[in-house]
């Protein structure tokens, strides 16, 4: 019998990590979103959040959105107001956020003081948004204006994704997110020596320890 491609060298299909999986097919209810649909459906849900917003993105940039009064401004301003109401905000990302994002973030002491929890992992390439533990977006869009359809026609990326309120899938993705967030994958990561701050070390640090968005350390040549 031939070994399947992708199987381990031991001939076993046992996963090495909780993030290595392929679930059996089953029917779920979902909405397809593309282009401007990300702004209307995904960001719309984010700005209506009452309990929590968990975001995973490889890249993070400043995001300009329309408020209830029809004026435009940084999404961070609205997130700051939500944090003041007790909404939990998490942002898991791979790259250092853009300079305009960091400059705007510096204007909101409530977010810097812990209202927005930022954790950086160079391995993060997934794009996900989980709102109130009840709505899930999975797709190609990063947390950027071009990705989430906030930019005008002709300036947006070509993005696809889906939105669902499927309970089992929400539980699965939240579990995977939490595992990365708490450093559950750090021990065996081959990028650990150049990591800007392994998340398992951050998890063991004091609860109020600040998160520094610094560049990865580079090895000295011998």
Domains for the chain: give ranges and CATH numbers: 31-204 (3.30.870.10)
| pLDDT recorded at residue 220 | 43
Rg (CA), the chain: 19
| pLDDT recorded at residue 10 | 39
At residue 142, the 3 state secondary structure works out as coil
| pLDDT recorded at residue 206 | 60
| pLDDT recorded at residue 137 | 98
Cα–Cα dist 149/76, whole Å: 17
Mean pLDDT per segment of 10 residues, for the chain of length 222 residues?
40 66 94 97 97 98 90 95 97 97 96 94 97 98 96 92 98 97 94 92 64 43 42
| pLDDT recorded at residue 15 | 59
| pLDDT recorded at residue 46 | 97
| pLDDT recorded at residue 96 | 96
Q: 0.75 exceeded by the pTM?
A: yes
Cβ 179 vs Cβ 142: under 8 Å: no
| pLDDT recorded at residue 67 | 84
Per residue, the 3-state secondary structure of 94-133, as one string, reads CCCCCHHHHHHHCCCHHHHHHHEEEEECCCCCCCEEEECC
| pLDDT recorded at residue 17 | 84
Cα–Cα dist 3/160, whole Å: 34
Cβ 138 vs Cβ 27: under 8 Å: no
Cβ 183 vs Cβ 198: under 8 Å: yes
């Amino acid at each position: 019998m031939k070994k399947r491609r992708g199987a381990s060298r031991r001939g076993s299909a046992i996963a090495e990590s909780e993030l290595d999986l392929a679930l059996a097919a089953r029917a779920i209810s979902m909405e397809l979103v593309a282009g401007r649909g990300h702004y209307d459906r995904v960001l719309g849900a984010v700005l209506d959040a009452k309990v929590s917003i968990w975001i995973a993105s490889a890249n993070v940039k400043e995001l300009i959105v329309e408020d209830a009064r029809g004026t435009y401004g940084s999404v961070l301003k609205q997130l700051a107001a939500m944090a003041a109401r007790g909404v939990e905000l998490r942002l898991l990302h791979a790259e250092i956020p853009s300079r305009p994002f960091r400059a705007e973030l510096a204007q909101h002491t409530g977010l810097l003081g812990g209202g927005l929890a930022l954790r950086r992992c160079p391995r993060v390439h997934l794009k996900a948004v989980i709102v109130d533990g009840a709505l899930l977006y999975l797709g190609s869009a990063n947390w950027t204006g071009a990705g989430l359809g906030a930019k005008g026609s002709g300036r947006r990326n070509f993005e696809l994704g889906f939105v669902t309120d499927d309970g089992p899938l929400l539980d699965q993705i939240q579990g995977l997110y939490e595992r990365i967030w708490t450093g559950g994958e750090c021990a065996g990561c081959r990028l650990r020596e150049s990591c800007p701050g392994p998340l398992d070390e951050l998890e063991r640090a004091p609860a109020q320890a600040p998160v520094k968005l610094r560049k990865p350390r580079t090895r000295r040549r011998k």
